[in-house]
């Protein structure tokens, strides 16, 4: 994850400190956070995504704008995220509201990625049913060959881009041997962040 114009206040700097500590400890899936959303029947759904930026007060990942999760975000823009970094026995819970990133931002990220990943984004109708995995691989191969031969251009699909979560709550949780776990929280109230602790 890249940190850009991060607010120089406690909860954001804490997040960065924990992240860098987990990175030093060799945390393998450090960018992976589990996001939960609810659908239009108030049913919750969770899945992992890789967070690529903390830009100002927004956590950013990239995905399809036509997926199941995209439908959930349209129904309800309240989101929570959970990072678990075992190497430092730390969980970070985050809450906020989600919206699409600017197209320019998504383009910049798209063209900085491997062609292989981009072809997958161009080919796959994320979350739609398909008869078999082999069929998806065939679709991928057809488009990959056309991109390689120059027949079609590598282009960010209209239905793929960044999502930004504007954060209004953090909880930093650290494991303690006696189960007296440490829980330090920050809640945004108007412009200020209120700091408090929770019992474990
Ligand atoms: C570690 C990990 C990272 C992932 N990162 C992403 C991601 O950045 N973007 C994405 O769209 N899906 C990512 N996925 C796949 C999602 O978990 C999920 O299968 C997909 O987005 C479809 O979810 P939906 O049907 O709820 O929309 C990741 C999965 C794992 C296990």
Q: Report which protein residue has its CA nearest ligand 1's atom 6.
A: 49
Q: Report which protein residue has its CA nearest ligand 1's atom 19.
A: 47
Q: Which atom of ligand 1 is nearest to the CA of 48?
A: 17
Three-class secondary structure of residue 44 per DSSP? strand
How high is the pLDDT of residue 179? 87
How high is the pLDDT of residue 124? 86
How high is the pLDDT of residue 186? 98
> Mind listing the pLDDT tens digit for each residue in 43-55?
999 999 999 999 9
> Mind listing the pLDDT tens digit for each residue in 15-26?
999 999 999 999
Dig out the tokens for 153 from the structure: 């251009």
Q: Report which protein residue has its CA nearest ligand 1's atom 5.
A: 49
Burial code (b: 16+ CB inside 10 Å, e: under 16) for 46-66 equals: eeebebbbbbebbbbbbbbbb
Detail the DSSP E strand segments found in the chain. Answer: 2-4, 32-38, 44-55, 58-64, 78-85, 90-100, 160-174, 182-189, 192-197
pTM of the model: 0.95
Are 34 and 46 in contact by the 8 Å Cβ rule? The answer is yes
Model confidence band, residue 116 (pLDDT cutoffs 50, 70, 90): confident
Is the pLDDT reported for residue 138 higher than 90? yes
Indicate the average pLDDT of the chain: 95
Q: Report which protein residue has its CA nearest ligand 1's atom 4.
A: 49
- Report the run of H or E that residue 56 belongs to, with start and end: none
Model confidence band, residue 194 (pLDDT cutoffs 50, 70, 90): very high
Pocket probe mutation, ligand 1, options 52, 62, 63, max atoms within 8 Å of Cβ: 63
> Mind listing the pLDDT tens digit for each residue in 148-172?
898 988 889 999 999 999 999 999 9
In this structure, of 112-126, 158-172, 178-192, the range with the lowest mean pLDDT score is: 112-126
> Mind listing the pLDDT tens digit for each residue in 28-44?
999 999 999 999 999 99
Is the pLDDT reported for residue 188 higher than 90? yes
Best CA proximity match to 111, nearest among 80, 59, 60, 155: 155
Structural domains of the chain, with CATH = 2-113+158-197 (2.30.110.10)
Dig out the tokens for 141 from the structure: 């191969």
Separation of alpha carbons 123 and 134, rounded Å: 13
> What is the whole-number distance in angstroms between the Cα of residue 25 and the centre of ligand 1?
24
Stretch 119-124: mean pLDDT, rounded? Answer: 89
The binding-site residues of ligand 1, defined as CB within 6 angstroms of any ligand atom, are: 29, 32, 45, 47-50, 61-64, 67-69, 126-127
Pocket probe mutation, ligand 1, options 47, 62, 84, 159, max atoms within 8 Å of Cβ: 47
């Amino acid at each position: 994850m890249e940190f850009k114009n991060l607010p120089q206040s406690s909860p954001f700097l804490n997040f960065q400190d924990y992240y860098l500590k987990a990175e030093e400890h060799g945390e393998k899936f450090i960018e992976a956070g589990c996001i939960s959303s609810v659908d239009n029947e108030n049913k919750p759904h969770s899945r992992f995504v890789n967070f690529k930026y903390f830009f100002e007060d927004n956590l950013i990942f990239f995905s399809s704008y036509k997926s199941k999760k995209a439908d959930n975000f349209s129904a309800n823009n309240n989101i929570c995220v959970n990072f678990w970094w075992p190497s430092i026995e730390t969980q970070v819970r985050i809450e906020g509201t989600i919206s699409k990133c600017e197209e320019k931002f998504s383009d910049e990220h798209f063209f900085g990625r491997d062609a292989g990943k981009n072809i997958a984004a161009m080919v796959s109708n994320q979350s739609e049913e398909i008869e078999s995995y082999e069929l998806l691989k065939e679709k991928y191969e057809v488009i990959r060959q056309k991109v390689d031969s120059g027949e079609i251009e590598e282009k960010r699909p209209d239905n793929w881009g960044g999502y930004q979560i504007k954060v209004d709550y953090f909880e930093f949780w650290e494991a303690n041997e006696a189960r007296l776990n440490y829980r330090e929280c920050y809640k945004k109230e108007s412009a200020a962040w209120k700091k408090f602790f929770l019992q474990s």
